[in-house]
Amino acid sequence: MSCFAGLTASAPVASGLADRGKGRGRVYANITETVGNTPCVKISEEICPKGRTIYAKLEYFNPLSSVKDRLACAIIEDAEKKGQLKPGDTVIEATSGNTGIAVAMLCAQRGYKCVITMAEPFSIERRKLMRFMGAKVIITPKAGKGTGMVAKAKELAEKHGWFLCRQFENEANAEFHYKTTGQEILNDFEGMKLDYYVLGYGTGGTFAGAGKAIKEKRPDVKICLGEPADAPLVASGTKTERNADGSATGSHPAFKPHPIQGWTPDFIPQIAEKGILDTGYDEFVPIPGQAAIDMSQALAKTQGIFTGISGGASMYAAVEMAKKAPEGSVLVAMLADTGERYLSTPLFASISADMNEEELAISKSTPNFQL
């Protein structure tokens, strides 16, 4: 049935549908101009605890379907302004996938060459997407973890004279979130109640930048930081040892592998550490890996929201926070990317490509075109 079924020319249109058909009132010079201005969508009571309101900021509305599109714009645009990049240069970065995909997009649009280093465990589809965008993808051994892929990127950059993004230390990352993500949330909730801002950390750019912007304008908003229960780096209280450039000297002792790809590498990024020191957080939620997977699946099946494991993790943290928050509380959670990045991961392990018994029964309920 059409979404417009039952409407007539004179029938009132629900306020949420009133801008359909209006377009954006502008056209775009290139794909990077479409980054940002992602929507905040209300979560129903099938997930949200009664008496509270949760919104999800859907970062998969960015052109390459993740919050890391912002990071790529931040670092490449900043490097161009500083004269660190010129036509034909090569850009290199270490990534769990989303940053690499976003950097590959920027490089394709700008005409730079792109090389990505990525640790072996991250999903196969991420490798293919980066190569599809024209990047060269260098896989590093699983045993080296995140610090290994970062060290490999640095080694290659030094060897070949390539521009290294340094997403975990580059302050342009957090600054971009301060100027965009944080301002978007403030504008979207202007004149409305907002009590909690809920998210995890990968580089810490969203946490440090958007968190700072929100706290400056609305200091009563509490920041709730999530972290994998299997990798309690921040919760441990143990700092990451650093090289002179801010990168980690090695793997954090509290790190264990976890399924929330894109969150919490095996070190506390310098940007995240600065965010903790400068802005801080008010609440903390440890997130079991299976709970993040279950919540991602629940968002798809009850809300029609298709996000990855990290999005499930953020929403799990928001729900847990809402359970203990005062009645009437309003929360907004960051959902970092699309579920399509996880087809080969545990998120889809229970999803078969073949028909199950119920589907076969439906097929056999009519006589024709049966397998």
Return the closest-CA partner of residue 96 out of 212, 228, 244, 225.
228
Check if 323 is active-site.
no
Residues 247, 310, 314, 329: which is the catalytic one?
310
Return the closest-CA partner of residue 203 out of 176, 230, 237, 243.
176
Return the closest-CA partner of residue 338 out of 6, 68, 13.
68
At residue 285, φ and ψ (nearest 5 deg) are -130, 115
- Locate 172 and state its tokens: 């342009």
Check if 310 is active-site.
yes
Please give the helix or strand (H or E) that residue 74 lies within, else none: helix 68-81
Return the closest-CA partner of residue 288 out of 366, 231, 326, 205.
231
Residues 68, 152, 154, 212: which is the catalytic one?
68
At residue 3, φ and ψ (nearest 5 deg) are -60, -20
One-letter amino acid of 8:
T
Q: Would you tell me how many other CB atoms lie within 10 Å of the CB of residue 180? A: 20
Would you list the DSSP string of 131-179?
HHTT-EEEEE-GGGHHHHHHHHHHHHHHHHTPEE--TTT-HHHHHHHHH
Please give the helix or strand (H or E) that residue 100 lies within, else none: helix 98-110
Exposure letters 281-300 (e unless 16+ CB within 10 A, then b): bebebbbbbebbbebbbbbb
At residue 102, φ and ψ (nearest 5 deg) are -65, -45
Return the closest-CA partner of residue 201 out of 126, 290, 275, 253.
275
Give catalytic residue positions.
Answer: 68, 310
